[in-house]
Structure 1
């Protein structure tokens, strides 16, 4: 099947065909809406390890072997009744999904939007990996996810979806690069131009979508004269200027770190599926919501400055459903917190 498909990001119906053929397998059947227009959500398994430090297995070595051979493991958590993953700690959990990729098909992982917006840093690891979030072509084996809550402790269970996977065939060319400019205008956004995370906030339950009042976790921000000073180490939710859309014939990825754009890290979660923000599907005029963390020194952000980049890539084929057709939480979004929170009021 793969030989007859054009190079590019693989859409939903091809992902489903790969699952039917066993190239994507799981300990539990794929769940409803787990396959997105151009990506696959990944689910936590039954347990997680609290580890001393992050690591990569390296060529020829599996993640499980590294855990068995080293003193990295501090203890094991059973997620089946729910377990708290604490702020500042590093965890490693097996995912329910495994891969048996055909030659010529590789995979790229990224945090889901809802994960990035609660400042949980996640990275996917494959056996033999020498880099995070990359799965080589022809890979056969399990997948693991490293989880590090940065600001909020979280309550996690099997099946929670913290990361997503995009499969690509061939050398997909970059079609376009687009800088996203920051919106700090009260005329555009209203009285609140962003949010800053509160320290020492309550526990966040990943299963309670829309079940958290946001005031205990975030404080609203205003901008004087279109400027905002980032404090080092603090986490912010900000928004790009409106007008963002992803055409139905491409997929896009937000570049997580653009060193030349300033003393901050913008956007943990980077996949934008085809149809995001387009006219007739919740757009036009959508914004990119930016998960921003200040670096080593205070830094002044100004209205209209570039803060992140989008990279556009071709699809191997048109998806069966576009973003927004599947009840997406962030279609046509403005400045918006994670789906775990109630609307700000």
Structure 2
């Protein structure tokens, strides 16, 4: 039976429920709810999440899979992957574009019954078009960890635009922890409703312009020269060199990206299968007591997918006087047919969730906050010149 740590909630977590801040994640580490195979690095701890690290072996698989309720991931891997498809990445190896890999992570979990978890790719991972999802044993969903879960974690990794070099310890995704009260144990929707968002906006603006709400904050794409200047986006090149995910500021954008220029009609035609980096019209600010996630708008509204890495930490976008100061960068891929985007078109929405308590150090206040105050910006690997 899962150990529930008597008096844990009262003594260690206080009376509040919601997403856990860094200081509470540190408590989880001390209480061995998070079990790393190697010491946690300071850089893994974010204001409201923990970066996860790749282990020393990767398994190339023919197709994505979920283990289902009755199997572990390793049982499924043994059934579909041959021994020669295991790759030693201890000191670095290339994950080929278009292939699918399952990689055991260095972090394991031993969660109490009051804590569940959810994951998403890191911002840099999404901007490199590396499709990454979390898998757990005996699960039929990606990127979700059931409360009271005990066991290992795995990353499904599929580079889409560039072949990439990774190694043991590379960080491609991150995990957040949600503390539940007794009435929330079977709940699946934790989004703040639009009425509460309006109250937040009145006391501290969430965006720099009009607040457009539709089960979250509506986000519109910026395609005019007035927003960014002549360059309004980037499109991934088809035949670029291998890119090392651990090398920051090491690559020229010209070797991997084509600039997308503003047109007189303020439109952009998305080519099927192409990957684009665009940005929002809105400048955002995430208050200290909230976190947010970018989710797709109604799929019926367009033949494209937006966002691979859509988590926004508390404090993201803070400008002087707590004004909204950063645009949302949008990772966009068209589907089966060309699709016309117009300047100001709705392209996604931000769904907000309450923190159990504000982080002691907000995004932008720590040593490394690569995307604070961003406009249109590629991942941290590129020199923007």
TM range (shorter): over 0.9
Aligned to 1:329: 370
1:298 aligned to 321, 326, 338, which one? Answer: 338
Aligned positions of 1:1-345 closer than 5 A:
1-3=8-10, 4-71=14-81, 75-170=85-180, 171=184, 173-175=190-192, 176=194, 177-224=216-263, 225-256=265-296, 258-280=298-320, 284-326=324-366, 327-343=368-384, 345=385
Question: 1:99-131: per-residue Cα shift (whole Å, max 9, x none)?
Answer: 111112111110011000011000100000111
- When normalised by structure 1's length, the TM-score is 0.96
State the alpha-carbon separation in 2 of the partners of residues 281 and 204 from structure 1.
Answer: 39
State the alpha-carbon separation in 2 of the partners of residues 28 and 194 from structure 1.
Answer: 39
Query: Is the Cα–Cα contact under 8 Å of residues 272 and 338 in structure 2 kept in the other structure?
Result: yes
Query: Is the Cα–Cα contact under 8 Å of residues 51 and 73 in structure 1 kept in the other structure?
Result: no
Question: 1:17-45: per-residue Cα shift (whole Å, max 9, x none)?
Answer: 00110001111111022111111100000
Flag the 1:74–1:88 CA change in 2: closer, same or farther, 3 A: farther
- Structure 2 unpaired stretches of 5+: 1-7, 195-215
Query: Is the Cα–Cα contact under 8 Å of residues 52 and 72 in structure 1 kept in the other structure?
Result: no
Secondary structure of the structure 1 residue equivalent to 2:223 = coil
Query: Is the Cα–Cα contact under 8 Å of residues 52 and 171 in structure 2 kept in the other structure?
Result: yes
State the alpha-carbon separation in 1 of the partners of residues 358 and 318 from structure 2.
Answer: 15
Question: 1:274-297: per-residue Cα shift (whole Å, max 9, x none)?
Answer: 000123399632100000000111
State the alpha-carbon separation in 2 of the partners of residues 5 and 14 from structure 1.
Answer: 13
Dislocated runs of 4+, deviation >4 Å: 71-74
Aligned to 2:200: none
State the alpha-carbon separation in 1 of the partners of residues 249 and 169 from structure 2.
Answer: 18
Question: 1:15-74: per-residue Cα shift (whole Å, max 9, x none)?
Answer: 010011000111111102211111110000011011111111111311111122334666
Flag the 1:33–1:282 CA change in 2: closer, same or farther, 3 A: farther
Query: Is the Cα–Cα contact under 8 Å of residues 230 and 262 in structure 2 kept in the other structure?
Result: no
Q: CA RMSD in A?
A: 1.5
Secondary structure of the structure 2 residue equivalent to 1:291 = strand
State the alpha-carbon separation in 1 of the partners of residues 296 and 120 from structure 2.
Answer: 10
- When normalised by structure 2's length, the TM-score is 0.86
State the alpha-carbon separation in 2 of the partners of residues 240 and 264 from structure 1.
Answer: 16
State the alpha-carbon separation in 1 of the partners of residues 301 and 46 from structure 2.
Answer: 31
Count of matched residue pairs: 344
State the alpha-carbon separation in 2 of the partners of residues 147 and 13 from structure 1.
Answer: 29
Structure 1 or 2: larger helix share? 2
State the alpha-carbon separation in 1 of the partners of residues 351 and 83 from structure 2.
Answer: 37
Query: Is the Cα–Cα contact under 8 Å of residues 50 and 73 in structure 1 kept in the other structure?
Result: no
Query: Is the Cα–Cα contact under 8 Å of residues 53 and 72 in structure 1 kept in the other structure?
Result: no
- Structure 1 unpaired stretches of 5+: none
